[in-house]
Amino acid sequence: MPRVAIIGAGSVEFTRNVVADLCSFPELAGQVTIALHDINAERLAYAERAAASIVRRTGAGHRVEASAERRPAVDGADYVINEIQVGGYRHTLMDFEIPKKYGVRQTIGDTIGIGGIFRGLRTIPVAVGIGNDLHELAPDALLLNYTNPMAMVPWAVYEGTPFANVFGVCHSVRDTHAFLARTVGVPERDVAFRTAGFNHQCFVLLFRHRGTGEDLYPRLREVIEADPEGLGHRVQRALERVRPLVPPPRRPGRAVPVRDRRVPAPQRGESAGLGADEGGPGRRPGARGRARLRAGLGDHPLARDRHRA
């Protein structure tokens, strides 16, 4: 019986979606043990009730367990889903408020920049502990990391533990496909996608109508251009989350080129930031990290393109 452990199961929205997905496959009926773990007893109890309710209402027949200790939850697991938020809401708020005092503005400070670093410093020790536990208790498990900062956390497991079978995952590809199809008014089942890249920065290389062969990107551009303050702004915010947009310092009164536009340079006392998640470019893993990444991926289905036309 496959064992799926969910670490940080008190993040109920994620837990509910994962359990619902597991219950949606009839070929898995009655075959899965869902092991929930959270350090917050109240949240864990709620997650257990929610998971059991989903299993019961769907008739999936899966077994649901709950443990306040991590090691019993991951012992013998085949899949481990990490969805922790170390420090909770209070510390996440500090990721924004402290940089804000020094003029650093962030859209979503959880991926790169100072907010991502703060979050990484809290999260990496716990992720390393999970990796060490899996090396000892479930060496063949697949660790699927949903926790941000997405690049830092799996990298820390690769480099800081003997356990290398870890992947950063996100629902962004699935949700982006649905959003794009909805935006151009075509049912998703009628759209062919080909998507490549890495988490939080994927690129849809092919966006085409299956029936007519029409390239749907021109239609998408028309919709975005017609709504610059809505969809256009949303596209910019998505880019700001993962790419530093800080211009070099300029003298007051001079213009700073940004993409195709020119905006006034920041005056004294203003923030130099034009967007979110300020910080330097991401570092590449070293040779050891790249080798372990390749070894970990191997021919695993997650390494293959599942979105071919």
pLDDT tens sequence across 32-84: 999 999 999 999 999 999 999 999 999 999 999 999 999 999 999 999 999 99
Mean pLDDT over the full length of the chain: 79
**Separation between Cα atoms, residue 178 and residue 180, nearest integer Å:** 6
pLDDT at residue 210 tops 70: yes
Q: Give the helix/strand (H/E) hosting 264.
A: strand 261-264
pLDDT at residue 197 tops 50: yes
Report the range out of 15-19, 88-92, 255-259, 279-283 with the highest average pLDDT.
15-19
**Separation between Cα atoms, residue 154 and residue 243, nearest integer Å:** 19
Q: What is the share, in percent, of the chain residues with pLDDT greater than 90?
A: 56
Identify which has the larger pLDDT, 147 or 198.
147
Calculate Rg over the CA atoms of the chain: 22
pLDDT at residue 244 tops 60: no
SS3 of residue 178 by DSSP: helix
Report the range out of 63-72, 171-180, 188-197 with the highest average pLDDT.
63-72
Predicted pLDDT at 160? 95
Measured over the CA atoms of residue 20, residue 26, residue 27 and residue 33, the dihedral's sign is: positive
Confidence of residue 241 (pLDDT cuts 50, 70, 90): low
Confidence of residue 294 (pLDDT cuts 50, 70, 90): very low
pLDDT at residue 27 tops 80: yes
**Could you tell me the CATH superfamily of domain 3-170?**
NAD(P)-binding Rossmann-like Domain (3.40.50.720)
**Separation between Cα atoms, residue 65 and residue 60, nearest integer Å:** 15
What is the pTM (predicted TM-score) of this model?
A: 0.69
Between the CA of residue 154 and those of 135, 169, 197, 295, what are the distances in Å? 14, 10, 16, 14
pLDDT at residue 259 tops 90: no
Task: Cite the active site residues.
Answer: 171
Residue range 7-19: average pLDDT? 93
pLDDT at residue 271 tops 60: no
Reading the block at residue 169, the tokens are 């995952």
CA 81 to chain centre: 12
Reading the block at residue 108, the tokens are 């979503």
pLDDT at residue 214 tops 90: yes
Reading the block at residue 19, the tokens are 């359990």
CA neighbor of 33 nearest in space, from 138, 184, 155: 138
Q: Give the helix/strand (H/E) hosting 207.
A: strand 201-209
- Whether 288 contacts 159, CB under 8 Å: yes
Predicted pLDDT at 108? 76
